Chains A and B, each alone.
Chain A
Amino acid sequence: MKLLAITSCPNGIAHTYMAAENLQKAAQKLGVEMKVETQGSIGVENELTEQEIREADGIIIAADKTVDKSRFVGKRLIEVGVQEGIRHPEKLIQQFIDGTVPVYKSNLKSVEEYKKEMKSKQNPIYRHLMNGVSYMIPFVVVGGLLIALSLAIGGDPTGEGLQVKSEFWNAVLSVGSVGFTFMVPILAGFIAMSIADRPGLAPGMIGGYIAANGSFYHSEAGAGFLGGIVAGFIAGYVAKWLKSWNVPKMIQPIMPILVIPILSTFVVAALFIYVIGQPISSMMSGLTHLLNNMQGTSSIALALILGAMIAFDMGGPVNKVAFLFGATMIGEGNVYIMGAIAAAICIPPLGMGVATLLNKKKYEKEEQEAGKAALAMGLVGITEGAIPFAAKDPLRVIPSIMVGSMVGAAIAMVSKVGDHVPHGGPVVAVLGAVDNWIMFFMAIVIGVMVTALMVNMLKKDVQ
């Protein structure tokens, strides 16, 4: 039997050669022919030739460094750490004698490896965001579509918004809401897990939940998905930092399940409850004050501001202030403000949905799916449908949806679109609660196109 081996270690000074020596000795003892290529500080020595590889019965890679395996497609191959090569060389060789070593299939694996490599080269912040978003998408899709379905079929326009009276559709709505409840915690949790592995998950999810629920910090609105992203990163980096602590051996086993999660949760929760909560409340009252003062001045300026606010954080505090302002104005007999808001509400999800249809190259597969769900959510006025896109690529997506919503809101305002129900999207017009519905649709279409074209212009192709 002829075997080949490659040994390599991080510094390439000692272990590489110890493994080589012991593999050779073991081979001799077991009566196997063996050649070892060493990849050390000196460089590659004793390099394996193509012919040797072709004639070999198997390859052993004992390395703590990445070794290019493309040469070994179709060969029986074992890959272990360099220590194994030093300490258990006979065991490794024995596996070939016993015939239990699988054949190395390159293509599939090396593409995966290549992808992994690409991933590790990416900006880490982006990688963590992407991890969070990819776990969040199913929750947005399931929750959003169930809510959309129940509102579209069972919805009834009232002064309180779209009410679902039928018991069945009400149940569907509640189930959908559960999906939405998990959205921000999952986003935050998996951002944190991407940073700190499993110890980050609990602090991230708990932090995300707190971020999304203003009641923890006496605020009318939670911090939305942007707050969730902040919570995820804080929880993740705190947990990662705690992991780097040198603790006594006694405590080590309980670090990842007890100490790190509890301390990280404590930090992120305290931060939201005692530090971040107050500024959010004051920002909300400041914005409300601003909107109240704008009454009577330029209605176009007001529409632009409302459009920007609605799109900015999609269900977060800024969005909430604009929405509540519109709803209050209906009560005072001014339905035009809600008209502008109703158009702005649906533009982010519809705009992103259309964007994925217009240029598939700029969106990954799961984003394309999220785009379809976003279209459905947009039709019934669920702005959150655009969150997966905004969370993944905030700097390009948020400006695009803000501009689209601003344009839509301004057009609706100028053409005196009125909405008698505190809810947005085409569904309100279909249910007969919108005055001048033709211009309402025009405003939406134009806003959607602005968003879709702008975001596709800003985004790069996915590799």
Chain B
Amino acid sequence: MVTMTLSDLTSLELIDIELQGSTKEQVIDELIGKLDRAGVIESARKFKKAIIKREKESSTAIGFSIAIPHGKSKAVIKPAVAFGLQKNGVDWDSLDGTPAKLIFMIAVPEESAGNEHLKILQMLARKLMDETFREQLLAVQTKEEAYNLLQTIG
């Protein structure tokens, strides 16, 4: 039985519906900054390395306006998801050439007890394939609205 929901992995301080960055790198730095300030990661530098390494294998922007930069690293203290909205879109080297607007940064520790958080993340990934859900997310006006939408997952 799943007792967790996505609200256990994210929080208002990890959500930003008005990302300032206009490039992939800037947005990555912005979201890492949020995770760092929230005490999710112990080293922003090490975590960024994991994120960049994964992006180099292949872009995590798979179209549908979504990018999910994710890193599995020892620098991660507890699993978390940061969400950012960049309404103008960011060039994320996506496969279909479209810019990313919904950016989910996922931080997963190298080793952790239990894998409930992985189940939640799995549900997030599946939910993002739902067009209606994406449109709702794109239309949010406040952090709280975004948070409420995200906590329905789980």
Contacts and interface: CB of A to CB of B under 8 A. Distances in A.
Interface of A: 10-11, 13-18, 20-22, 25, 38, 40-43, 64, 81, 83, 86-87
B127 to A, nearest CB: 8
Given A11-B72, A17-B125, A22-B129, A86 B115 contact: no
Contact of A21 (B95, B96, B104, B126): B126
A396 B121 CA distance: 54
A403 to B, nearest CB: 49
Contacts of A15: 60, 62, 68, 125
A83 B58 contact: yes
Contact of A17 (B60, B70, B122): B122
Nearest to B50: A11
B106 interface: yes
A22 B131 CA distance: 11
Interface in B91-145: 95-96, 104, 106, 108, 115, 118-119, 121-126, 128-129
B93 to A, nearest CB: 10
Given A14-B124, A41-B115, A42-B122, 4 more contacts: A10-B54, A40-B118, A83-B95, A87-B62
Give me the 4 closest cross-chain CB pairs, A-B, nearest first.
A17-B125, A21-B126, A14-B125, A21-B129
A304 to B, nearest CB: 55
A83 B93 CA distance: 13
Contact of A13 (B70, B95, B128, B129): B70
Contacts of A10: 54, 57
Contacts of B104: 14
Contacts, number: 69
Chain B, interface size category, equals 20 to 34
Given A13-B70, A64-B58, A40 B95 contact: no
Contacts of B63: 86-87
B126 A18 contact: yes
Given A13-B72, A13-B125, A18-B128, A87 B115 contact: no
A21 B131 CA distance: 12
Given A41-B115, A64-B58, A83-B95, A14 B121 contact: yes
B54 to A, nearest CB: 6
Contacts of A17: 122-123, 125-126
A17 B70 CA distance: 14
A21 B54 contact: no
A65 B129 CA distance: 21
B115 A13 contact: no
Contact of B108 (A16, A22, A41, A81): A41
A40 B126 CA distance: 13
Given A13-B121, A18-B128, A42-B115, A87 B95 contact: yes
B126 to A, nearest CB: 4
Contacts of A43: 115
A18 B115 contact: no
B60 to A, nearest CB: 7
B125 to A, nearest CB: 4
Interface centre among B62, B121, B128 (most CB of A within 10 A): B62
Interface centre among B54, B70, B125, B128 (most CB of A within 10 A): B125
Given A13-B70, A14-B70, A83-B62, A42 B118 contact: yes
Nearest to B57: A10
Contacts of A18: 62, 125-126, 128-129
Nearest to B62: A86
Contacts of B115: 41-43
Contacts of A25: 129
Contacts of B60: 14-15
Interface centre among B60, B96, B122 (most CB of A within 10 A): B122
Given A42-B115, A64-B58, A83-B62, A11 B126 contact: no
Contacts of B129: 18, 21-22, 25, 86
